Amino acid sequence: MEKIIVLQNCILLTNSVSGGDIIFPKMSPYLTKQFEVHVVGNKLTKSIWTTYGAKTSFHLYHDIFFGSSQRLLFGPLKYLLRTYQSTRMLLSLIKKLDGRIIIYSSSDYFPDIIPAFIAKIFYPQSLWVGRIYHLIPLPWKRENPFLYSLFSFLSQRASFLLLRLKANKVFVLKNAYKNVKGIFPSHLLKTTSVGTISRKKKQAREILYDSISIGTISQNRGVFDLIPIWRLVVDELPNAKLVLVGGGSSEYIQKLELKIRKYHLHRNISYLGSLSEKRLHSVLKKSKLHLSTRREGGASIPTLEAAIWGVPTVAYASSAFKKRNIPGCILVPTGMHMLFAKKIISLISDKKRYHELAKKTKRASKQPSWKYITETFTKEIEKLTLIQ
């Protein structure tokens, strides 16, 4: 049986899981039928795989410094140390395993890239498969602190260079393909999508919340824009309720809670933190609208899952949304708080219009299952093994 070694070294926060973090764990129940899966990472990696994935072999290291810190300030240092640790672990693991080895980098950040690149030098017969979610913008175009944005930008571009030199295939989300196709030769890229949940066709929805927003609490995800937007909504609809779901660093969560109090919205906005998948879906399907103020990123899994439940989305017209025809998604120019609020108020107030849009959203939502996504991946791997 062929072996897949998954490198997943870039999870920094215990309470924050991004869509990219769960893609391969979600695929793993179908992968393990055909491949022997090994995962290289730390305890955060294992916690995600045990929650979302199938039973696999874990090869774990411990963060040498700042392991318990939830401050993003230490992120670059953690990444450097994890790169060293995972490289040693990967080389040792390949040496022990026999047969065909496929190395999978679960992100385009250098802790997942450099170990695979080095392994390809020492074991050129192995296959290396990379993954790209989105193109990080120039640092002065991001909302995050400049030095943090500069580090992210430069490290991603360096990772792209290593992928071009040694990778056998790079999977890229459809909405990001246009941005990266000029960076890589066409034969190296393979477009892909994400899978979604399945919904019981006749399951009814009980509406408890006016809106929900799901995602990591960070500057570039735009969550802080929702506070002044919801203030405008509450000025028209005093009882309007918004729930925020997602983890984040202690600094950003504190900033969010302070901003909610500053705008006197503690009775109208509930921050629920990071939820289990079952609890998240329960809250999502009880919400009238899904809101997305993300300014960058790849495909939004919450938006696609909201569509399956018949929950329309109001979103900033970022690249992730402009390049995809997502059912029931109303786009607003980025930063236009008043217009965003008006769209929300209109849908909440006009029951007939809302129900028509919700029905249209549910009927039009056609997203491939995780099983289908996995089958596409394995077919591509089979092609690579025939070529090499």
Beta strands at 169-173 and 127-132: parallel, antiparallel or unpaired: parallel
| Domain assignment present for 299 | yes
d(CA 302, CA 321): 12
Q: At residue 309, does pLDDT exceed 90?
A: no
Tens-digit pLDDT profile for residues 126-180: 999 999 988 888 888 777 777 778 888 898 999 999 999 999 999 998 878 888 8
Q: Are residues 67 and 129 in the same domain?
A: yes
Q: Are residue 166 and residue 64 in the same domain, yes or no?
A: yes
Q: Is 200 among the domain residues?
A: no
Strands of 329-332's sheet, edge to edge? 269-273, 242-245, 209-214, 287-292, 313-316, 329-332
Stretch 292-320: mean pLDDT: 81
Residue 17 or 352, more confident: 352
| Integer Rg of the chain from CA | 21
State yes or no: pLDDT of 259 exceeds 60.
yes
The CATH code of the domain that includes 39 is: 3.40.50.2000
367/348: higher pLDDT: 348
Residues 260 and 128 in one domain: no
* 348 and 251 in a common domain: yes
**Residue 272 included in any domain:** yes
**Residue 299 scores a pLDDT above 90:** no
Mean pLDDT of 78-87: 92
Residue 203 lies in a domain: no
pLDDT number for residue 211: 96
Domain presence at residue 336: yes
Mean pLDDT, rounded, for 381-388: 81
| pLDDT value at 323 more than 60 | no
In terms of domains, do 255 and 170 share one? Answer: no
Work out the burial of residue 202: count CB atoms within 10 Å of its CB; fewer than 13 is exposed, 13-18 middle, 19 or more buried: exposed
Mean pLDDT (the chain, rounded): 87
CB 159 within 8 A of CB 184: no
Q: What is the pLDDT of residue 10?
A: 86
Whether 17 has a pLDDT exceeding 90, the answer reads no
Tell me if 199 sits within 8 A of 308, measured CB to CB: yes
Q: Give the best-scoring range by mean pLDDT among 19-28, 100-109, 169-178, 351-360.
A: 100-109
Going by pLDDT thresholds of 50, 70 and 90, the confidence category of residue 69 is low
Q: Are 160 and 223 within one domain?
A: no
Check pLDDT > 80 for residue 198.
Answer: no
- Examine the domain organization and report whether 166 and 262 are in the same domain: no
User: Smallest Cα–Cα separation from 323: which of 175, 194, 192?
Assistant: 175
Would residue 202 count as lying in a domain? no
Q: What is the pLDDT of residue 359?
A: 85
Instruction: Please give the pLDDT value at position 221.
Output: 81
What is the average per-residue pLDDT within 244-267? 92
Q: Are residues 291 and 374 in the same domain?
A: no
158 and 257 co-located in one domain: no
Give the total number of structural domains in the chain.
2
Find the mean pLDDT for residues 27-41. Answer: 91
Report helix angle 301-308 to 351-364, nearest 10.
110
Classify residue 257: in a domain, yes or no: yes
The verdict on 40 and 122 lying in the same domain is yes
Q: What is the pLDDT of residue 324?
A: 62
Distances (CA, A) of 15 to 216, 245, 276, 281: 9, 11, 10, 17
The H or E element spanning position 132 is: strand 127-132
The pLDDT assigned to 214 comes to: 92
Claim to verify: residue 189 and residue 238 sit in the same structural domain: no
Instruction: Calculate what percentage of the chain has a pLDDT beyond 90.
Output: 47
Minimal CA–CA distance to 185: which of 202, 210, 160? 160
SS (H, E, C) 217-284: ECCCCCHHHHHHHHHHHHHHCCCCCEEEECCECHHHHHHHHHHHHHCCCCCCEEEEECCCHHHHHHHH
**Can you give the pLDDT at residue 14?**
66
Same domain, 378 and 245: no
What local confidence, expressed as pLDDT, does residue 249 receive? 83
Residue 137 tokens, joined: 């913008």
Q: Which domain holds residue 252?
A: 209-364
In a domain, 122, yes or no: yes
The percent of residues above 70 in pLDDT, for the chain, comes to 90
Specify the pLDDT at position 73: 59
Question: For residue 202, is pLDDT > 50?
Answer: no
